[in-house]
């Protein structure tokens, strides 16, 4: 019995990201059935004659990998059903063998999640899961049939030894394990893995030592950076210094959130924005020094659409374009901050992250309420930091901020 398998771009449907879904198409017994691949593409990047991404398509290699895996899976199922002398039906191919609704290999589960994150514009999370997927794939030597049930305490121990043999630091190993655990939890929730097989109750991730070196500098050093004469320096040095001080003065706002600030985030002398990482709303008072920094970059705001000259709405339109631009500017800013620290006579590996830690530490050392600083800024868990900040009234935060200078 002839079975025809292909992948088509369903251009008659437009998703929220402006792209069209790719669908697995199977012809059998004169009938046709479609199933979403969980990935989308701009129709202009799809070759409708050859049913594949055009050369130069963004993420084209990744999309082609998903297509190949799905089509190969279907063909394997067809061969298996024929060998078992089982009647071929579209239902069997889609639900029992070919594209199981609740049974996937680890690789398939990763790729589906990565595709969804790409479609949702969550480029930061996507990058983490891509790194984890590539690590697992390298350790398993490209085993495409690796199942969740294959991952037990012994497998995890071997994976840990392999990561260490590659020279990975403790923080990287912890990230790889936390990401794999997250994937496993998602698989259990969706019925793709069994809770009874769950290996992380025995192989504890909490054992990894992820304490990092000191990242905060003293208030005196902050003042040195603020008072530093950079009038003769290139524009990027001036901007990097301003970004560092602005972050310190506005609740330790991180670089990505600074880059995304728009005029609409300023209201009644306050910065109100949603954190890119957690989606939590932050409401921070703008003091005179922070307002002065913002005023320095007023020119061009109406054209670029952002408060700081990092992102430009005319050029950086997609989530990936924004992510690439932010990554490039962050690298340059951190490089500039090393130079600034040297200029100020500060023996410290200065980075934008140091502004966040310094904000927390200076307040703590100034005697600010422990409930607001120790728990609210939770130095070992910065996500919890922002969650706790939300639980206090704005006036309490405003009072605490007066201790920064």
| DSSP alpha helix (H) spans, 228-351 | 235-249, 255-260, 288-296, 301-304, 319-343
- List, for residues 148-202, the tens digit of each pLDDT value: 888 888 899 899 999 999 988 888 888 899 999 999 998 888 777 888 888 888 7
Per-residue confidence band for 307, with pLDDT thresholds at 50, 70 and 90: very high
* Average pLDDT of the segment spanning 271-282: 79
Q: In what order do the strands lie in the sheet with 20-28?
A: 4-9, 20-28, 31-41
Q: Which fold has domain 102-211?
A: DNA polymerase; domain 1 (1.10.150)
Summary mean pLDDT of the chain: 80
Is residue 234 pLDDT above 90, yes or no? yes
- The domain ranges of the chain are 1-99, 102-211, 219-401
Lowest mean pLDDT among 153-162, 315-324, 382-391: 382-391
Is residue 81 pLDDT above 70, yes or no? no
User: Which residues contact residue 267 at a Cβ distance below 8 angstroms, ignoring those fewer than 6 apart?
Assistant: none
**Of residues 132 and 68, more confidently modeled:** 132
Is residue 369 pLDDT above 70, yes or no? no
Lowest mean pLDDT among 26-35, 39-48, 229-238, 392-401: 392-401
Lowest mean pLDDT among 96-100, 148-152, 240-244, 358-362: 96-100
pTM equals 0.55
Q: In what order do the strands lie in the sheet with 281-285?
A: 266-267, 270-274, 281-285
Burial profile 297-325: b = 16 or more Cβ within 10 angstroms, e = fewer: beeeeeebebbbbbbbeeebeebeebbeb
* Average pLDDT of the segment spanning 224-235: 92
- List, for residues 334-347, the tens digit of each pLDDT value: 999 999 999 999 98
User: Which residues contact residue 124 at a Cβ distance below 8 angstroms, ignoring those fewer than 6 apart?
Assistant: 256, 276, 277, 323
Lowest mean pLDDT among 49-58, 161-170, 371-380: 371-380
| pLDDT reported for residue 343 | 93
Lowest mean pLDDT among 83-97, 274-288, 311-325, 385-399: 385-399
Is residue 363 pLDDT above 80, yes or no? no
Q: Which of 227-236, 381-390, 395-404 has the highest mean pLDDT?
A: 227-236
Is residue 287 pLDDT above 80, yes or no? yes
| pLDDT reported for residue 359 | 79
| pLDDT reported for residue 91 | 62
Is residue 381 pLDDT above 60, yes or no? no
Lowest mean pLDDT among 26-35, 110-119, 216-225, 284-293: 26-35
- List, for residues 101-137, the tens digit of each pLDDT value: 445 788 888 988 888 887 777 777 888 899 999 999 9
Distance CA 287, CA 310 (A): 22
Residue range 219-401, CATH number: 1.10.443.10
């Amino acid at each position: 019995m002839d079975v025809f398998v292909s992948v088509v771009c369903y251009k008659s449907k437009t998703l929220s990201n402006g792209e069209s879904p790719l669908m697995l198409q199977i012809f059998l017994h004169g009938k046709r059935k479609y199933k979403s691949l969980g990935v989308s593409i701009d129709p202009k990047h799809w070759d409708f004659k050859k049913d594949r991404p055009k050369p130069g398509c963004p993420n084209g290699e990744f999309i082609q990998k998903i297509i190949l895996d799905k089509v190969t899976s279907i063909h394997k199922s067809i061969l298996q059903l024929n060998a078992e002398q089982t009647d071929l039906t579209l239902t069997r191919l889609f639900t029992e063998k070919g594209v199981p609704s609740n049974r996937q290999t680890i690789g398939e589960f990763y790729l589906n999640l990565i595709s969804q994150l790409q479609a949702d514009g969550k480029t930061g999370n996507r990058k983490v899961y891509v790194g984890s997927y590539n690590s697992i794939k390298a350790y398993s030597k490209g085993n495409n049939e690796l199942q969740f049930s294959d991952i037990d305490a012994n497998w995890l121990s071997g994976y840990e030894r392999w990561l260490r043999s590659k020279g990975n630091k403790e923080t990287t190993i912890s990230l790889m394990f936390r990401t794999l655990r997250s994937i496993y939890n998602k698989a259990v929730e969706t019925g793709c893995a069994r809770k009874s097989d769950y290996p992380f109750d025995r192989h504890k991730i909490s054992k990894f030592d992820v304490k990092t070196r000191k990242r905060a500098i003293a208030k005196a050093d902050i003042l040195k950076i603020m008072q530093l004469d950079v009038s003769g320096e290139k524009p990027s040095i001036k901007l990097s210094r301003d970004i560092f001080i602005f972050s310190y003065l506005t609740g330790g706002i991180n670089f990505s959130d600074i880059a995304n600030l728009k005029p609409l985030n300023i209201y009644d002398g306050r910065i109100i924005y949603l954190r890119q990482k957690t989606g939590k709303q932050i409401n921070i008072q703008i003091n005179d020094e922070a307002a002065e920094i913002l005023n320095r970059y007023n020119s061009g705001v109406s054209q670029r659409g952002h408060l700081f000259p990092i992102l430009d709405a005319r050029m950086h339109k997609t989530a990936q374009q924004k992510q690439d631009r932010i990554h490039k500017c962050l690298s340059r800013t951190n490089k500039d901050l090393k130079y600034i620290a040297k200029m100020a006579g500060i023996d410290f590996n200065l980075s934008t992250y140091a502004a966040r830690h310094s904000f927390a530490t200076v307040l703590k050392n100034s005697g600010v309420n422990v409930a607001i600083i120790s728990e609210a800024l939770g130095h070992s868990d910065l996500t919890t930091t922002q969650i706790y900040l939300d639980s206090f009234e704005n006036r309490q935060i405003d009072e605490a901020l007066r201790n920064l200078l």
